[in-house]
Amino acid sequence: MNQALQFGVIGSGSWGTALAKILTDNQAPINWWVRDEATITHLKTRHHNPNYISSVYFDGHLLTLSSNLHEVISNSDCLVVAVPSAYIIENFSKLPEDIFSGKKVISAVKGLLPEDNMLLNDYLKKYFGLGLDRYFTVMGPCHAEEVAAEKLSYLTFSGQDDKHVQQIASYFSTPYISTVVNGDIYGVQFAAIMKNIYALGAGMAHGLEYGDNFLSVYIANCADEMAGFLRKAGVNPDGAGIHRHDQEGSLFRSLNYAASVYLGDLLVTCYSLHSRNRTFGNMIGKGYSVKTATLELSMVAEGYNASKCIFLLNKQFGAEIPIVEAIYRILWENVKVRPGFKQIEQLLV
């Protein structure tokens, strides 16, 4: 590694805790923003997060814990943002406008900010002047529970500059994490948002007792719909099986819809029992109300707000996304889940 980066991790949910584990497993000391003082005390005394992936134990010498977000940002070079999208503005709105000056930001956020219907990079540019050259993303497929169990997983890091992306990715490369880098900042974020919506639908299908045959057809159609949305949004990865080698000898991967961060993340989020979006959708399919499912899950299912955000954003893009629209109407317009899914049945090929 070149000059060592001082990382700050913002968020102590399951994904924030998993990312903190990866960094500290590489002996990288971190400043960690933990909102709840009781959790901080537990981490200091018992060395694990009592609320999320509690099987992970931390070396206390590598943790500087604080409930003061301003302090964590100020003392870090590179900020990993792992707060659910619905809580970003609530936590960031009182920060000084120059707080991110000279900082790098890595987004692990898989949703649009619902108040402004924006991606995190656009929000940080508008309100804090953070340029896209200092903004990076880390996306899956990668469930926190499997990181905790150290099962081999792949993370894709995206940014404008090959060298900087590779430097950041090097801090997350472990025997159980393989890192891939690309330059598709907007595409990987939109793909992560869309796959959460489709996973809600996969869960609904399971709750309605559709079988594996149906689910395979449903996911194949979702992949096609997502590709069409990305193209309308101005993101144009190559088709499956097409690879360019413009940067020979580089770890940079040419963009491809079948890559792990696009199709791979869609598949695991729709199929895995670890997927909170699939679990949320399963409850809806079984007849739970949105309110009851939210309370029962006790974690944020990003796809819920995302379905409304993408529905509204698509008025600008004009993509054909009938599956997303059907899921949106089930969740937001009181369309009953069974007749709503009958409409989806008729869309699939």
Asked whether residue 258 is domain-assigned, the answer is yes
Does 2 reside within a domain? no
Q: Looking at the structure, tell me whether residues 41 and 175 fall in a common domain.
A: yes
Residue 303 and residue 335 share a domain = yes
Per-residue pLDDT, 260? 79
Residue 102 makes CB contacts below 8 A (sequence gap 6+) with none
Listed residues 137, 158, 183: the one ending a domain: 183
145, 41: one domain: yes
Q: Does 213 map to a domain?
A: yes
Domain span at 41: 7-183
User: Tokens for 167?
Assistant: 């430097």
CA nearest 254: which of 164, 320, 327, 162? 162
pLDDT value for 304: 92
pLDDT recorded at residue 297: 82
Residues 155 and 274 in one domain: no
144 lies in the same domain as 52: yes
For 89-145, the pLDDT digits (tens) are 999 999 999 999 999 999 999 999 988 899 999 999 999 999 999 999 999 888 889
Find the CATH number of the domain harbouring 132: 3.40.50.720
- Alpha-carbon distance values, 291 to 71, 196, 331 (Å): 35, 18, 10
Which of 183, 200, 219 is the C-terminal boundary of a domain? 183
Instruction: Answer yes or no: do 153 and 76 share one domain.
Output: yes
What CATH number corresponds to the domain at position 201?
A: 1.10.1040.10
Whether residues 139 and 225 fall in one domain: no
**Whole-number Cα distances in Å, 287 to 211, 214, 292, 337:** 18, 20, 10, 8
Angle of helix 185-207 relative to helix 302-317, nearest 10 degrees, comes to: 120
Q: Specify whether 157 is located in the same domain as 68.
A: yes
Verify that 191 and 177 share a domain, yes or no: no
Per DSSP bridges, beta strands 78-81 and 104-107 are parallel
Query: Rounded to two decimals, what is the model's pTM?
Result: 0.92
For tokens 């719909």, the residue is 225
For the chain, how many structural domains are there in total?
A: 2
pLDDT of residue 234: 84
Let me know: does 141 contact 154? Beta carbons within 8 Å: yes
* Residues 194 and 273 reside in one and the same domain: yes
Shared-domain flag, residues 209 and 110: no
Q: In this structure, are 159 and 26 located in the same domain?
A: yes
Helix (H) or strand (E) holding 64: strand 63-66
Q: Does the residue 321 lie in any domain?
A: yes
Intervals of the chain under pLDDT 70: 1-3, 236-258
Q: Which of 140, 162, 183 is the last residue of a domain?
A: 183
